Amino acid sequence: MNIILLGPPGAGKGTQAHILVEKRGMIQLSTGDMLREAKDSGTEMGKRVAEVMARGDLVTDEIVIGLIREKIKGENGGGFIFDGFPRTLAQADALDDLLAETGQKLDAVIEMRVDDDALVSRITARSTCGSCGEVYNDITKPWPADGKCANCGSTDVKRRADDNEDSLRNRLMEYYKKTSPLIGYYHAKGKLRPVDGLGEIDQVAASIDEALG
């Protein structure tokens, strides 16, 4: 089963992708991870990515599609999760063409719906352990009172510089401007499966399971 995870920044796409990888043996294809991996790989494609990133330019659709092509021609496990791609209608068409070219298809698009105000509240309260990556939240899961990560004991607590209200609302606006056409596109194709993205992690995972059947 090949699926796309759609949702704004902070909706929990990464968390849910990890759950699907563990439960269903799927392979997560995160655009950001693929670009970082390619940049350090030393391959011809990797050199192109490194050059573009060194100039501070945006990586072209052609390069991203090339990276995805390399990935999906290999072992597909329980199918692929496309995370962070496509972001535009042109990319959606390119992904359709690529899947057809490799004898595959897209089974479902999970749209993780959120309330913007609640999402901003949740993300601005977020912190992580600098050592192990454990995620904390000032409201629902505060950093332990003894100052040490409950998972690894580190005292290195980090907050992302762009996890502030102004930055988040700008990122949300960009997401809606660029990605909202995809919602209509996949709805018309009968692929869209909306779920509430603001429930507890297990609740969201159960909703995704139900949507995928």
Burial class of residue 62, CB neighbours in 10 A (0-12, 13-18, 19+): exposed
192: three-class secondary structure by DSSP:
strand
Catalytic residue (one of 87, 141, 148, 159):
87
Catalytic residue (one of 39, 122, 126, 193):
126
Question: Is 36 an active-site residue?
Answer: no
Catalytic residue (one of 169, 171, 178, 191):
171
**Which own/partner pairs from 66-70 qualify as long-range (CB within 8 Å, at least 24 positions apart)?**
67/34, 67/35, 67/38, 68/29, 68/34, 68/95, 68/98, 69/98, 69/102, 70/45
Catalytic residue (one of 13, 39, 122, 193):
13
Question: Is 24 an active-site residue?
Answer: no
- Crossing angle for the helix pair 116-124 and 165-188, to the nearest 10 degrees: 130
Question: Is 193 an active-site residue?
Answer: no
Catalytic residue (one of 23, 158, 160, 189):
160
Question: Is 87 an active-site residue?
Answer: yes
**Which own/partner pairs from 23-27 qualify as long-range (CB within 8 Å, at least 24 positions apart)?**
23/205, 23/209, 24/78, 24/79, 25/77, 25/78, 26/1, 26/77, 26/78, 26/79, 26/80, 26/81, 27/71, 27/75, 27/76, 27/77, 27/78, 27/79, 27/80, 27/81
Cα distances from 16 to residues 44, 49, 89, in angstroms, run: 32, 28, 24
Question: Is 55 an active-site residue?
Answer: no
- The catalytic residues are 13, 87, 126, 160, 171
